[in-house]
Structure 1
Amino acid sequence: MSSDDVTRDLDLQPEKPHSARFWNYLLGGKDNFAADQELGERMKRDWPEAVDIARASRAFLGRTVRHLAAERGIRQFLDIGSGLPTADNTHEVAQRAAPDARIVYVDHDPIVLVHARALLTSAREGATDFIDGDLNDPRTILTRAARTLDLDRPVALMLLSVIGHVPDASDAARLVRTYMDLLAPGSCLVLCTTISTPRADAANETYAASGTDPYITSTAEQMAAFADGLTIPPPGLAPINRWFPEGATGPDIEQWGYVAYKAAARQ
């Protein structure tokens, strides 16, 4: 059965905006409906930084994955809340630097699943898989990811613009800690999310009022708590455009993040 056949059998709720399709629209993609486009245009008007955040997040993904694969020797990536495939996805960046890299994508939206299975193909030396899973169920996700990843070896946990879907910050911190506790020594956390400011919070109220799942901003203190027990090297917790920029960074954006490391096993 082709991806088009599967798509026809799904209830995509085109009349209701969806976070993955909305994000796709901000990035200039075509996998979205009129409701997603309408919300995108409203957000562009009320909070133009939304487009900058979407683009900066993709650039941050590219720089962090390239750094981890090429310079830190990371060969396994678990990308949760991956959204609709675009250009330079995690496996493409990782496998350009390390063809034997293994990547597992996780999302729970059926349209994302259909597109991912059709488009996310691996280099011959490595492996790419996509699983239908919920961020809030780490043990199930890791059990299924173990079909592709060796969880006795370091894994990069990618949580890019997704942790805000956990409404309570303390719950979010416990959730991230559970993932990192279950991953091997030497693993790392790549995280970014929207920092709480009056303009960002107002924009997220507009976003939630559209009927899509709300996204909760985080304070700097809450973001630091997500990496409790891990080491965040320079540039530390900061706007993601400051993270090892490749050229001029422009003004700081309201999307902050870091790469944080779990201590390696003692020899």
Structure 2
Amino acid sequence: MTQGSTYPEPLGREQGRLDTGVPHIARVYDYWLGGKDNYAVDREVAERIIATGNPVTQNARANRGFLGRAVRHLTAEAGLRQFLDLGTGLPSADNTHEVAQRIAPETRIVYTDNDPIVLVHARALLTGSPLGSTTYIHADVRDIDLILERARETLDFDRPVGVIMAGLLHCIPDEDDPAGIVAKVLADVPSGSHLAISQPAADINANGMARAASVMDQLMPVKITYRTREQVARFFEGTELLEPGLVPAPLWRPDPDADTTPRSVWAGVGRKA
């Protein structure tokens, strides 16, 4: 697959058309990060959650910071040259391909998401190094078998892959078996592959997160599930967690002089033996 390829038609289950009257978590998150690719209904949800006193803006930034550090480590230190970024969300600063290709221009990346507006902005995700490759697949992560099949057109599954699930799994309720989705991906990628996960925490600032969850349940069409450290740790079964383990996102290999205030996001990277 060449640089800048995309699949404009939804893969797997019906994704629906862009509905600016229904909030979507990717656009709410975009608002918290200071983006402009959101609508009034997304901003209303975002502000209602901010009004609960939960520092969601700082949580979102902590999540984004972890993504950049994890990709940087996996490219520069672990030597990975291909990534599968599941549930990428709207393009922002330091997307996976930008971080990775800054270090190794030949790196290949496959992005996926199910929000129609992310598809609209996919070209921004597909502008990378001419030596590498970036591909966007419009699909729901619950159709993981179809995603993996299509991803093989860009990625070599005989070589280690960096699997990114940053701020994704809380959008998958337990009844849709998020652990099974993670296990399927890990079963398909070879030894030496790495799994990076960040997940909003139920047990850091528990009262504030509970208030935010209550608002989410009232206003969002998709169930949002915050999880404890123990629950998030189960997603890493079959991998060996890299130091410092599963920690609040700002504490995962922070940059010098970075703000390491613990935020309500668990984050970790595991290596498949």
Change (3 A) 1:119 1:228: closer
Distance in 2 (alpha carbons) for counterparts of 1:62 and 1:118: 17
Distance in 2 (alpha carbons) for counterparts of 1:89 and 1:105: 10
Does 2:232 match 1:223?
Answer: yes
Which of 10, 18, 40 is the matching residue for 1:12? 18
Query: How many angstroms does 1:248 deviate by?
Result: 3.2
1:205-247: CA deviations, max 9, x gaps?
A: 2012113312101111111110112100211011010011012
Q: Paired residues, what number?
A: 255
Structure in which a larger fraction of residues adopt strand? 2
Amino acid at match of 1:134: D
2:153 corresponding residue in structure 1: 147
5 Å matches for 1:176-187?
A: 176-187=182-193
Structure 1 runs of 4+ with >3 Å offset: none
Which of 132, 140, 151 is the matching residue for 1:126? 132
Which of 101, 110, 115 is the matching residue for 1:104? 110
Does 2:247 match 1:238?
Answer: yes
Query: How many angstroms does 1:71 deviate by?
Result: 1.0
Superposition RMSD on alpha carbons, in Å? 1.7
Which of 253, 258, 272 is the matching residue for 1:262? 272
Shifted more, 248-257 versus 82-91: the winner is 248-257
Change (3 A) 1:148 1:20: same
2:144 corresponding residue in structure 1: 138
5 Å matches for 1:1-80?
A: 11-80=17-86
Instruction: List gaps (5 residues or longer) in structure 2.
Output: 1-15
Change (3 A) 1:11 1:174: closer
1:193 corresponding residue in structure 2: 199
Amino acid at match of 2:261: P
CA contact (8 A) 1:161 1:193 kept: yes
Distance in 2 (alpha carbons) for counterparts of 1:17 and 1:47: 20
Distance in 2 (alpha carbons) for counterparts of 1:92 and 1:37: 27
Relative contact order higher in (CA < 8 Å, ≥ 6 apart): 2
TM-score, normalised via structure 1 length: 0.91
Distance in 2 (alpha carbons) for counterparts of 1:169 and 1:230: 23
Distance in 1 (alpha carbons) for counterparts of 2:111 and 2:219: 27
Instruction: List gaps (5 residues or longer) in structure 1.
Output: 1-9
1:80-138: CA deviations, max 9, x gaps?
A: 11011111110000000110000000011211111113553120110000001211122
1:4 corresponding residue in structure 2: none
Amino acid at match of 1:46: T
Query: How many angstroms does 1:190 deviate by?
Result: 0.2
Amino acid at match of 1:60: F
Query: How many angstroms does 1:171 deviate by?
Result: 1.8
CA contact (8 A) 1:169 1:222 kept: no
Distance in 2 (alpha carbons) for counterparts of 1:248 and 1:96: 21
Amino acid at match of 1:16: V
CA contact (8 A) 1:103 1:128 kept: yes
Change (3 A) 1:170 1:214: closer
Change (3 A) 1:48 1:218: closer
1:5 corresponding residue in structure 2: none
Distance in 1 (alpha carbons) for counterparts of 2:180 and 2:232: 12
Distance in 2 (alpha carbons) for counterparts of 1:22 and 1:99: 31
2:259 corresponding residue in structure 1: 249
CA contact (8 A) 2:24 2:115 kept: no
1:23-45: CA deviations, max 9, x gaps?
A: 11111011111111111111111
CA contact (8 A) 1:160 1:193 kept: yes
